[in-house]
Structure 1
Amino acid sequence: MTAARLTARELLALVTDASTFTELPHPGREPAPDGPLGWPGYDAARARATDRTGESESVVCGTAEIEGTRAVLIAFEFGFLGGSLGRATGDRLESAHRYARAHRLPVVPLVATGGSRMQEGMLALTQLQRVARQSALTREAGLAQVAVVRDPTTGGGWATLGAGADVVLALPGAQVGFAGSRVRPPDADPAAYTAEAQVAAGSADAVVPPGELRGTLGLWLRLLTGRSDAPAPVPGPLGATDPPATGWEAVLRARDPRRPRAGRYLDAYFTRRAEIRGDRCGGADPEGMLCGFGVSARDGRTVAYAAQTGAATRPAGYRTATRLIRLADRLGIPVLTLVDTPGAANDAEAERQGVGPAIAELFGAVAGTRIPVTTLVVGEGGSGGAVALAAPGRTWAAPDSYFSVIAPESAAAILKRPADQVPATADHLRLRPQDLVELGVVRAGDDDTDHSDHSDHSDHTHDTDDADTDRP
């Protein structure tokens, strides 16, 4: 059996701390003979599945510790009727989510399913609505969901428990896609339906080898349960420490290829970190935007980060940053953003991918968040593509950075100034860090005591289950 085809119990043993798994009680309903549709032979098929797997349903639900963090786990048993979802599966999934909310625990679905159970017809398909409802309630309660997708994860199971999670990890080589191998077009490229392809398309965050799964899950659970009201500390500058003499010197410093970039800042700021990848809309921008969560080297708290890398930021990068900020807001985790871009990508493909709406969404996420956002401009701050990532009133600037309404070259061109007037135009724009402090655009020093704008944190503990009874 391949690693991706481990049984539910084998996978639970692989990812949980020894002797910590406790199975949850099975919610019961008396099944009708051969199921709700009276499908001939359904009872016999279930009995054979039980004999083969030792399970009475396609999911095993329980609690356990993973690297010391307690969580609710939902492990699919693909050997039981292809891990399909029926009404009894829905009962167990709902019960698991209710338990998680009652005990304030994150949820870890370990998914391997072919979709809804044909022998139960539309009553099986509507379990997807039920599962989506439970996932939404858990999300509203401020609890994290980290999914592991296995071989295969297709159909509604992928479109709810898998792709709907906050973080999606995948086992290498797993078949992952909405269309299963028996229903997709005969000429479809099978490489598109793999874990690796889903990561490349921004629909999953990482491919994780089985031997690293427990450690990776443990890190993610620690990070995503690290609530904190305090703002992220401001990073110290890693490059120049003296202010630039002129505006043009500020621009040249920021464009210097030897200047520290996002990777160096993140390595210095965090002791451990884990990356989210992709915008969940078919795109990723790993060359332009780095997003994730990490353990602060200064105080050991969890801090979320969205960091531009010095390249033009593409629409998927902005959408990934928006996803990161909204997730951190829901989980009560402070955010650090690093601004460093000459501007948003402005090629025709960027326009077709919706760069304007993507930036608009990021502006809205930063403006509407309830958690504190701390921003450091570490390089180029090019126009709206940069300011969208900056926190109003909580932005600092490194000495080898600049922030400008427009690039000096573009400003000179618009004003019909000759090329030799570009340096003077940079001075006119007042884009140096010390100019920005005088203008009140960025803050001076590292005093970080005033975060009253974000003091009204919602509890996130309310649960609307009372209005969610007697669902199908």
Structure 2
Amino acid sequence: MSSPHTHRAADSAAARVSARQAIAAVTSDFTELPEPVGAGRPDGPLAWSGYDDARAAAYERTGETESVVCGTAVVEGVRAVLVSFEFRYLGGSLGERTGDRLEAAYAAARAHRLPLVSLVATGGSRMQEGMRALSQLQRVAAQSALNRAAGLPQIAVVRDPTTGGGWATLGAGADVVLALPGAQVGFAGSRVRPPDADPSAYTAEGQLAAGAVDAVVPADRLRTRLGRWLRLLGSPARGPVAPPRALGDARPPGTGWEAVLRARSPERPRAAAYLDAYFSWREQISGDRCGGTDAGLLCGFGLREGRSVAYAAQCGTATRPAGYRTAARLIRLADRLSVPVLTLIDTPGAANDAEAERAGAGAAIADVFAAVAAARTPVTSLVIGEGGSGGALALAAPGRTWAAPDSYFSVIAPEAAAAILKRPRADAPGLAEELRLRPRDLVDLGVVRGIVGH
């Protein structure tokens, strides 16, 4: 029987391959871009003794003249610009010539309206070029900003290792971040981090748990998953999408309290069932890029009738600040790529414990309200269960929200209303009626456009 150590070693070996092996893992159709003009000075901008010899040795070892290989490729039928790092060339470090190649790759993506995929494996900036090397990070960031402004997607695949400025620009700065299992991923490389640092924090799996990586993908599935992401980010549906059909009980509730009980029923279909019925297939993004995740809010892109739709779906739990920040990130990305958005509303309300307050619950909810309000792409919403107060309303599209028959939407839960009004909890059923929270009440009040059928 193999040990966990054996598995980690195998994962790491899969993550640490050459630049051209990494390219071959995702495409068999690759054309390298022309070499940018500019030969550079002997021993680099610092006249670092032996630098030319080190580059010559790196060429002999790898067959590459720089730490990055750039070109156009077809990945699972989708054309893209591909950037792949060669770690054996001076640790995959970024110098001025690297910056020249990266700038040319971003420019080619803009010229041909193509997504850019980075297969990253780097130790950071090249020491032998000093601050001239470090300044390449600004150059990469500027190019990335131009591609974002042009509405072009950027996907990173982080290999072993991905550290320093390469992680802080091409890696963590991408729209979607995939990681190979066992890869070392973090801003601090193994030689400069604190000696007592927890090593698990600097892994692909650790970054996934911290909300900085969207998925850890086995090497043998990378081509398929990358191809799916390229298709999802590049083939948006046109115009607003229709809300999903109802999956639960179609009978209209007779009273407000009945609506509340049916929305809270454990047998009622939840977000995952609605998403599976709505999409042919889907891919999920994960994390708020601020250190948090929320399993109670599913975000991602799905394929419906051959076109892409983004989704943010609450799962019936109290939504945490990380969930709202992830949803805001999703909506802004979809807006930039002109992909319509579907939101599914199902929460008793926003999490309001002390941890949620310390994590910035109010600011996170405000961020979603702002993202929905500012979105130029159409947003469609469906209340599929509980619609509890502002924590639910944040995900609702003004003028384009529908309700399922077994749902309710309320300014506050009836029990909380009783507490605020200093009335006994036994008054909650009566208050549910006064709050007019049933689907048909919401239609009459102009809060939702209609009730979806089966």
Q: Output the TM-score relative to the length of structure 2.
A: 0.96
Specify the code of the residue in structure 2 equivalent to 1:285. Answer: D
CA deviation string 1:399-457 (max 9, x = no partner): 0000000000111122122232211100000000000000000012569xxxxxxxxxx
Residue among 232, 242, 250 paired with 1:233: 242
What is the percent sequence identity of the aligned residues? 73
Match of 1:54 in 2: 63
Q: CA deviation at 1:31?
A: 1.5
Q: CA deviation at 1:77?
A: 0.2
Residue among 168, 178, 184 paired with 2:177: 168
Distance in 2, Cα, partners of 1:263 & 1:7 = 39
CA contact (8 A) 1:229 1:372 kept: no
Match of 1:291 in 2: 299
CA contact (8 A) 1:338 1:377 kept: yes
Q: CA deviation at 1:300?
A: 2.1
CA deviation string 1:129-179 (max 9, x = no partner): 000000010011000001000000000000000000000000000000000
Match of 2:9 in 1: none
Q: Which segment is superposed worse, 410-419 or 118-127?
A: 410-419
CA contact (8 A) 2:440 2:451 kept: no
Distance in 2, Cα, partners of 1:362 & 1:84 = 38
CA contact (8 A) 1:279 1:320 kept: yes
Q: CA deviation at 1:76?
A: 0.1
Asked if 1:14 is matched to 2:15, the reply is: no
Asked if 1:344 is matched to 2:322, the reply is: no
Residue among 105, 109, 125 paired with 2:114: 105
Distance in 2, Cα, partners of 1:423 & 1:270 = 37
Match of 1:470 in 2: none
CA deviation string 1:49-102 (max 9, x = no partner): 000000000000001111000000000000000000000000000000000001
Instruction: Spell out the pairing of 1:199-278 with structure 2 (5 A cutoff).
Output: 199-278=208-287
Residue among 395, 403, 412 paired with 1:397: 403
Asked if 1:3 is matched to 2:14, the reply is: yes
Q: CA deviation at 1:301?
A: 1.4
SS at match of 2:387: strand
Distance in 1, Cα, partners of 2:351 & 2:118 = 36
Match of 2:7 in 1: none
Residue among 17, 34, 42 paired with 1:33: 42
Match of 1:312 in 2: 318
Q: Output the TM-score relative to the length of structure 1.
A: 0.93
Specify the code of the residue in structure 1 equivalent to 2:349. Answer: G
CA contact (8 A) 2:387 2:393 kept: yes
CA contact (8 A) 1:203 1:278 kept: yes
CA deviation string 1:336-371 (max 9, x = no partner): 000000000000000000000000000000000000
Distance in 1, Cα, partners of 2:13 & 2:263 = 49
Q: CA deviation at 1:197?
A: 0.3
Match of 2:77 in 1: 68
Q: CA deviation at 1:228?
A: 3.4
Match of 2:8 in 1: none
Asked if 1:324 is matched to 2:335, the reply is: no
SS at match of 2:318: coil
CA deviation string 1:222-273 (max 9, x = no partner): 0000133311221000001111000000000000001000010011011110
Distance in 2, Cα, partners of 1:110 & 1:373 = 32
Distance in 2, Cα, partners of 1:249 & 1:111 = 54
Match of 1:379 in 2: 385
Asked if 1:120 is matched to 2:120, the reply is: no
Q: Which segment is superposed worse, 222-231 or 45-54?
A: 222-231
CA deviation string 1:170-194 (max 9, x = no partner): 0000000000000001111111100
Uncovered stretches (5+) of structure 1, i.e. residues with no partner: 448-472
Specify the code of the residue in structure 1 equivalent to 2:231. Answer: R
Uncovered stretches (5+) of structure 2, i.e. residues with no partner: 1-11
Residue among 77, 87, 100 paired with 1:78: 87
Specify the code of the residue in structure 2 equivalent to 1:309. Answer: C
Match of 2:6 in 1: none
Asked if 1:435 is matched to 2:444, the reply is: no
Distance in 1, Cα, partners of 2:426 & 2:213 = 48
Match of 2:159 in 1: 150
